[in-house]
Amino acid sequence: MGQNQQVQAPDEELELNSIQDLYKSFIMECPSGSLYLHEFKRMFGVQAGTPESEYMDNIFRAFDMNHDNTMDFIEYVAALNLVLRGKLEDKLRWSFKVFDSDDNGRLDRRELRKIECQSKLNQNLTVDQVCDRIFNEVDVNSDGQITLEEFVEGAQRSTWVQNFLRLDVNPSPWVHKYLCDRKLLSPKDS
């Protein structure tokens, strides 16, 4: 047991150093301690009026846990932790929240079309074909709406849906680039 504690201590210390570095970077980007949406987009190099911009709006909203239209450091670290280390189910739950733009607890075809516009993985399928395939694989009760449970269970069951959602479920390339640019993560960790 003592050996396990000794093995874990360096990892925990390394993580503490990483969190301290993240905090320094966060405070440099937003000295007020509150990260606003435009600052969040700027940090990741996302330009207004692009499909990525709307996606970042949804990401920001999903991580603004207290709904004060800012992201504090705790919310920021929670977002990075989920993106970099989260389990598939957690990422799917988070993705559902991001895609559920009207916050009604269900995804409809309009919301799925936005997902398709952000994905470059299905260039040989039309938006309607992608929506049909997702609904066929995930909408268990065929009611034309996908609940959180249907989304998570369906995506876990379907390799095609997981591959389709890859960019959205795991936006870590943006995060990895951001952290590597600030020397908070080495490229080998990517």
- Which 3 state secondary structure label does DSSP give 90? helix
Per-residue confidence (pLDDT) for residue 185, from 0 to 100: 57
By the 10 Å C-beta count (0-12 exposed, 13-18 middle, 19+ buried), 107 is classed as buried
Residue 47 neighbours by CB under 8 Å, 6+ apart? 41, 53
CA distance 44 to 184: 14
Per-residue confidence (pLDDT) for residue 183, from 0 to 100: 59
Residue 101's closest CA among 143, 40, 152, 59?
59
Are the C-beta atoms of residues 147 and 105 closer than 8 Å to each other? yes
Per-residue confidence (pLDDT) for residue 146, from 0 to 100: 96
Per-residue confidence (pLDDT) for residue 8, from 0 to 100: 36
CATH fold match for the domains 16-85 and 88-165: yes
Per-residue confidence (pLDDT) for residue 123, from 0 to 100: 58
CA distance 74 to 64: 10
Strands 146-147 and 106-107: antiparallel
Residue 155's closest CA among 83, 107, 113?
107
Are the C-beta atoms of residues 147 and 13 closer than 8 Å to each other? no
Ranges of residues in the chain whose predicted pLDDT is under 50 = 1-14, 120-121, 167-170, 190
- Which 3 state secondary structure label does DSSP give 147? strand
Tell me the residue type at 36: Y
Query: What are the domain boundaries of the chain?
Result: 16-85, 88-165
Are the C-beta atoms of residues 162 and 169 closer than 8 Å to each other? yes
Domain 16-85, what fold? Answer: Recoverin; domain 1 (1.10.238)
Residue 152's closest CA among 83, 105, 119, 104?
105
Per-residue confidence (pLDDT) for residue 100, from 0 to 100: 87
* Tens-place pLDDT, residues 129-169: 888 999 999 999 999 999 999 999 999 999 888 877 764 44
pTM, two decimal places: 0.60
Are the C-beta atoms of residues 40 and 56 closer than 8 Å to each other? yes
CATH superfamily ID and name for 88-165: EF-hand (1.10.238.10)
Are the C-beta atoms of residues 100 and 106 closer than 8 Å to each other? yes
